[in-house]
Amino acid sequence: MRLNRFLSECGVTSRRKADNLIKAGRVTVNGEVVCTLGSVIDESADAVALDGKPLRKETKRYLMLNKPPFYLTSLKSLEDGKKTITSFLGDIEQRVYPVGRLDYDSEGLLLLTNDGELANRIHHPRYKVVKTYFAQVSGDVPENLETVLQDGADIEKRFVIPDSVNVLRVSERRARVSISFHEGQKHLVKKYFEVFGLRVTRLKRISCGNISLGKLEKGAWRDLSPAELKGLRRITGLFPCDQ
């Protein structure tokens, strides 16, 4: 098996990013640094380590969590006093990582997995996995809000157009909108509304590709069903050719 694939199957990262780790000299095979891309290992006999830590393949795990607001999308507490999503993930045997992030004050659907390749594909705009958000906004709501939002805007030098916009409720100073993007910039939804003079006061991700949050309770998680996983693999080009 190729070394980059082995790294990705250990949940370290995607295959493409694994190449960067290899080039950086952070990976050893039987104690020797291997910097050559395309290197092949015998996974039953070779001992592979990253930054000196031995790696082994884990059973793949795919979960969804309904993240409540005011929890960090992080496995380690980076900011003093802030709780993290680990509070909800107590008894999961595998080391699963969040796929993308939700802001501290955002809530809703968060996928977690130790499958680096799939995680990368869900997150990367190239695979066009559409994420849908429910947003409550306040400010001077423009007339024809739906049409205005559909036009797109420059966000950090990149022109972004939502995949869909539905205004659910609107008044002069507030609106409730469902909006979808396949881009993944940090704070994208908040920045997008900011362009139109609107401040997001509540933000909830309700779906990601074929996966919907449904009625999962706040703070609860569950494994994805085989059908959900198959759908995700299909829309990210991993099914059926690369099992």
Binding site for ligand URA (CB under 6 A): 102-103, 106, 187-190, 203
CA distances from 88 to 68, 84, 103, 114 (A): 10, 8, 17, 17
Q: Which of 80, 103, 105, 115 is catalytic?
A: 103
Half-sphere exposure of 61 (CA within 13 A, CB side): 22
Check if the beta carbon of residue 116 is closer than 8 Å to that of residue 94. no
96 versus 102: smaller Cβ distance to ligand URA: 102
- Residue 131 Cβ, how far from ligand URA at the closest point, in Å? 7
Structure tokens at 93: 């045997």
Q: How far is the CB of 192 from ligand URA (least distance, A)?
A: 8
CB 86 within 8 A of CB 112: no
- Smaller CB distance to ligand URA: residue 56 or 158? 158
Paired with 177 in beta bridges are 135, 167
Shortest distance in whole angstroms from residue 16 CB to ligand URA: 23
The CA-based dihedral angle spanning residues 132, 69, 67, 232, taken in that order and rounded to the nearest 10 degrees: 20
CA nearest to 162, candidates 195, 140, 139, 138: 195
Cα–Cα distances (Å) from 131 to 111, 180, 208, 219, in that order, read 11, 5, 4, 20
Smallest distance, Å, CB 187 to ligand URA?
Answer: 4
For residues 180, 154, 128, 70, the Cα torsion angle rounded to the nearest 10 degrees is -50
Q: Quote the least distance from Cβ 203 to ligand URA, whole Å.
A: 6
Q: Could you confirm whether 103 is annotated as catalytic?
A: yes
> Which of 132, 106, 117 is closest to 213 using CA atoms?
132
Q: Please give the positions annotated as active site.
A: 103
